[in-house]
A and B are shown apart, each in its own frame.
Chain A
């Protein structure tokens, strides 16, 4: 009986009580403040367009629908999500969430890449596609991301459709003369991961090699 009056018992009781009360509070708040995958997607689309847009999911690795819940892998990375956003007439945008491999420390960089598809014919041809916007989504193990300014991402959106049709890809290798260079001096490995993320989209749209 003396144990129940001891300091040890009081210590255990207080810590247990605090853990139970705080655990319960957090469980309730976790439910109340839950952010659904749909809400996250709407936020991501808003970060690209500035306003909320209606979208159709073509591919989503996190979806419960087995028809679309797979990632597309390429030589340089993976495409995790593709959303189709209707524009005027037949035109539409394809919004890719793509992850590039082989960054600094073997880390990854994920980007949102918006490709606009503007066409007047029945079906779009490969020169109807254009990279419009590239935005950083997230990264892993990259320590020099502060070096990546808007100029770096803007280099991906210059109209290079013919080059993509010809099979060129982005590279951070300064000695590579066959492809399109987009390098950040001092952070070439991270630049490589970002280039790889966009190259995955090139692979999907233009069949780059």
Chain B
């Protein structure tokens, strides 16, 4: 249970693929003009992440380490092709809006990184969960950025026009870089604030303990808290 909680926190917050690891930058910058595009791309990547992680984990003892990278690429490319076929058949509008960036999922660093760094070393369940939460983290970041840019660049949210006021800069490539930088800065700031607060809480606990306990007891307590 502790492992699952760690995987979830890693995927969505502490190792967020977009805002913390700065991976998958190409679709992040190109597709976040609309919030809906962010959701679409996020879900597409989540599907490929889960499927490829499961298969890589399943075959981790079969694939020789010397050919693991071509084997992983083969697996990822297969799932991306399946996804393309499915979207073209069932969701043609989404397929058209994702355009070129859909086949480019094959070379998305997040997927290969998770296959190499996690799925090839962990059992199936944990690998599937890692894919799911990394996908959620990716979707979350892309949707948030898309909503922000759509709101300021088009005066709309999820296609619903809210006002006539537009700052076209946010719909442009430069606006994408600016928004990306802004989001990374805000995310890092929030993370450092949370870490600082945690440090203060730990210190306060330590001070309280110091009044009534021995050094061994304090150490044991802090260890338990961790």
User: Residues of A with Cβ closer than 8 Å to B?
Assistant: 7, 10-11, 14-15, 18-19, 22, 25-26, 29-30, 33-35, 43, 146
Q: Give chain B's interface secondary structure class.
A: helix
Q: Which residues of A contact B139 (CB under 8 A)?
A: none
Q: Jot down 20 A-B pairs with beta carbons below 8 A, ordered by A.
A: A7-B66, A11-B67, A14-B63, A15-B70, A18-B74, A18-B75, A22-B75, A22-B78, A25-B82, A26-B81, A26-B82, A29-B82, A29-B85, A30-B85, A33-B86, A33-B89, A34-B89, A35-B89, A43-B92, A146-B171
User: B172 interface residue, CB < 8 Å from A?
Assistant: yes
Q: Which residues of B contact A7 (CB under 8 A)?
A: 64, 66
Provide the B64-93 mask, 1 if CB < 8 A to any CB of A, else 0.
Answer: 101100110011001001100110110010
Q: Which residues of B contact A22 (CB under 8 A)?
A: 74-75, 78
Please state if A14 and B67 are interface contacts (CB–CB under 8 Å): yes
Looking at the assembled complex, report how far the CB atom of A107 sits from the nearest CB atom of chain B, in whole angstroms.
Answer: 14
State whether A33 and B64 are in contact (beta carbons under 8 Å apart), knowing that A15-B70, A146-B171 are contacts in the complex: no
Q: Which residues of A contact B86 (CB under 8 A)?
A: 33
Report Cα–Cα, A33/B71, bound state, in Å: 25
Please state if A146 and B33 are interface contacts (CB–CB under 8 Å): yes
* Size range of the chain B interface in the assembly: 20 to 34
User: Residues of B with Cβ closer than 8 Å to A?
Assistant: 33, 62-64, 66-67, 70-71, 74-75, 78, 81-82, 85-86, 88-89, 92, 171-172
Instruction: A10-B64, A25-B78, A34-B89 given; name 9 further pairs at CB < 8 Å.
Output: A7-B64, A11-B66, A14-B67, A22-B78, A29-B85, A30-B85, A33-B86, A33-B89, A35-B92
Q: Give chain A's interface secondary structure class.
A: helix
Q: Which residues of B contact A10 (CB under 8 A)?
A: 64
Q: Which residues of B contact A33 (CB under 8 A)?
A: 85-86, 88-89
Looking at the assembled complex, report how far the CB atom of A27 sits from the nearest CB atom of chain B, in whole angstroms.
Answer: 11
Looking at the assembled complex, report how far the CB atom of B67 sits from the nearest CB atom of chain A, in whole angstroms.
Answer: 4
Q: Which residues of A contact B88 (CB under 8 A)?
A: 33, 35
Looking at the assembled complex, report how far the CB atom of A124 sits from the nearest CB atom of chain B, in whole angstroms.
Answer: 33
State whether A19 and B74 are in contact (beta carbons under 8 Å apart), knowing that A35-B89, A146-B33 are contacts in the complex: yes
Q: Which residues of A contact B89 (CB under 8 A)?
A: 33-35
Q: Which residues of A contact B78 (CB under 8 A)?
A: 22, 25-26
Nearest B residue (CB) for A7? B64
Looking at the assembled complex, report how far the CB atom of B34 sits from the nearest CB atom of chain A, in whole angstroms.
Answer: 10
Nearest B residue (CB) for A138? B96
Q: Which residues of B contact A43 (CB under 8 A)?
A: 92
Report Cα–Cα, A26/B86, bound state, in Å: 11
Looking at the assembled complex, report how far the CB atom of B60 sits from the nearest CB atom of chain A, in whole angstroms.
Answer: 12
State whether A18 and B33 are in contact (beta carbons under 8 Å apart), knowing that A26-B81, A29-B85 are contacts in the complex: no
